Amino acid sequence: MIRAAIFGALVACLAAGPALALSCRAPDVVRSYLDADASDDFYTVVLGRIRAGTPISSHTPSRDLRIAARMRGRALGPDGFARPIARPVQLNITCLSEWCGQPPPQDRDLLIFLRHEDGRLVLDLGPCPQWLFQNPNSEQVARVADCHTGGACDTDG
């Protein structure tokens, strides 16, 4: 009888709370480009790699976090991804409730949208990835470059 009462109370507690789930749109490089372009902030789009100044765990952080890093690659300009760039960046990992952004992989090809903030470049990494694309394929790179240089800016959905 006591077991049944405890079980019933446990079920009631679990059923009483709202079911929380995070729903993110599928990331799309052109949608990210258009969002950056429409923003009041200024962005630089880079095809390159990031190396954090301090080792970062591959586990998701449990709170908002800023990490110093360095970025090296090619910035998007009128001729596509042709301009070499190597700069310090701030990784801004943010959380929404229990969901947090992921640190970028070390030394892997990335397509990144860097926000300018007080003279620094910042990579915002929230729970719904929008500003970082790992191992971008040639189609993704071409779609962003085409959109930037006056070509088609069609999104995947």
List all residues 6 or more positions away from 127 whose beta carbon is below 8 Å from its beta carbon: 22, 24, 94, 95, 96, 99, 100, 101
- Kindly give the confidence (pLDDT) of every residue in the chain, 157 residues in length, as a single tens digit, with 9 standing for 90 and above: 444 444 444 344 444 444 456 788 889 999 999 999 999 999 999 999 999 866 555 555 566 788 899 999 999 999 999 999 999 999 999 988 888 888 888 879 999 999 999 999 999 999 998 999 999 999 999 999 999 999 999 887 5
Q: CATH code for 25-148?
A: 2.40.50
Q: What is the dihedral of CA 140, 143, 149, 152, to 10 degrees?
A: -170
Contact 85, 151 (CB under 8 A): no
pTM, to two decimals? 0.81
Query: In the chain, what are the domain boundaries?
Result: 25-148
Strand partners, 68: 90
